[in-house]
Structure 1
Amino acid sequence: MAKFLLSLHVLASVLFIGPVAVAVSMFPRRAAAALGSGADQPVAAASVRLLHRITQVYALLGIAVPLLGIGVAQVMDVLGQSWLIASIVITALSAGSLLLFVVPAQQSVIDTLDAEAGTPAAHSRGDDRERAERGLKLLPMTAGVFNLLWAVVVVLMVIRPGSTTGA
């Protein structure tokens, strides 16, 4: 059972966290092009909307990763080990950075694009563009923090301090 759950956990992390990591990394550059003016602007705006959608959907699906991880830890009887507790804390920090910084900054860009395109559902405010550009300045850093935290979790999962696997 442990091998099956571990396989699901690893598969879910690759299929669900991987696309989020790529989307949040690509978003700032495409968003800058979408908010700019040029021939690439309409294509960049479509890309930004797609990347934001990928971030939202796969982040939601990514909830399966820690849930499966806790199941694996329980079956392997390692729930109290420090490397696992550290991984859980870092995973929570990563999720927090995504939910508190990355997604709102992305949404701000989408709202600005909608307002400038005259989308009926868009709430038009004069400071939307300034807020989007301000958030866009921090977005590469917050995306990097999100990805770095996930990389640390992966390293902890592979190294597993105190592991008896001989690695």
Structure 2
Amino acid sequence: MAKLLLSLHLLAAIIAIGPVTVAASMFPRKAQAALAAADGGGAGAAESAASVRVLFRITQVYAGIGLAVPVLGIGTAQVMGVMGSPWLITSLVLTGLAALVLMFLVLPKQQAVVAALAGEPDADPVKAAGSLKQLTMGTGMFSLLWAVVTVLMVVRPGSSTHA
């Protein structure tokens, strides 16, 4: 059972977290280009805005699918009897932090850019463009948190399972 859960946990991590990380990382650069094209009325403005919407949608959808990663991880840890291990607790805390960064920093700022590009009445393109540095920082933090979690999952400092 442990091998099945671990396999599902790893598949979920690869299939869900990878696309979120890539799409979120690409978003600020594409958003900057799309906002500049929209401001200048360039011919590629619609295409740039469409690519930004796709990246936002990928981030949203795969973030939802990514919820399976900690759920399957907790199930795996319970079956393996390592729920109280410091490396696992640290990984869960960092996973929670990554989820908070995604939910309260990355996705809202992406939504603001998408709304600005769509010309929504309450959207402020200048504010959206100004928040791109924060968005870049947020996506970097998200990626770094997941990188640390991945290392902890592989190295498992202090683990007694010797695997």
- TM-score scaled by structure 1? 0.91
Gap runs ≥5 in structure 2: none
The answer to whether residue 135 in structure 2 is matched with residue 139 in structure 1 is yes
Alignment of 1:17-166 (within 5 A): 17-37=17-37, 38-115=42-119, 122=120, 124-125=121-122, 128-164=124-160, 166=162
Deviation at 1:163, TM superposition (A): 2.5
For the residues of structure 1 that align with 2:125 and 2:47, how far apart are their CA atoms? 19
Structure 2 equivalent of residue 13 of structure 1:
13
Percent identical pairs in the alignment equals: 58
Deviation at 1:34, TM superposition (A): 0.6
Deviation at 1:166, TM superposition (A): 4.3
For the residues of structure 1 that align with 2:118 and 2:162, how far apart are their CA atoms? 55
For the residues of structure 2 that align with 1:12 and 1:129, how far apart are their CA atoms? 35
Gap runs ≥5 in structure 1: 116-121
Query: What is the CA deviation profile of residues 70-113 of structure 1, one whole-angstrom value per residue up to 9, with x for unaligned ones?
Result: 00000000001110000000000000000010000000001101
For the residues of structure 2 that align with 1:108 and 1:9, how far apart are their CA atoms? 32
SS in 2 for 1:161: coil
Query: What is the CA deviation profile of residues 18-48 of structure 1, one whole-angstrom value per residue up to 9, with x for unaligned ones?
Result: 0000000000000001101234322211110
For the residues of structure 2 that align with 1:138 and 1:39, how far apart are their CA atoms? 28
For the residues of structure 2 that align with 1:134 and 1:9, how far apart are their CA atoms? 37
- TM-score scaled by structure 2? 0.93
SS in 1 for 2:158: coil
Query: What is the CA deviation profile of residues 4-29 of structure 1, one whole-angstrom value per residue up to 9, with x for unaligned ones?
Result: 00000000000000000000000000
Q: How many residues align?
A: 159
Deviation at 1:165, TM superposition (A): 5.2
For the aligned residues, what is the CA RMSD?
Answer: 1.3
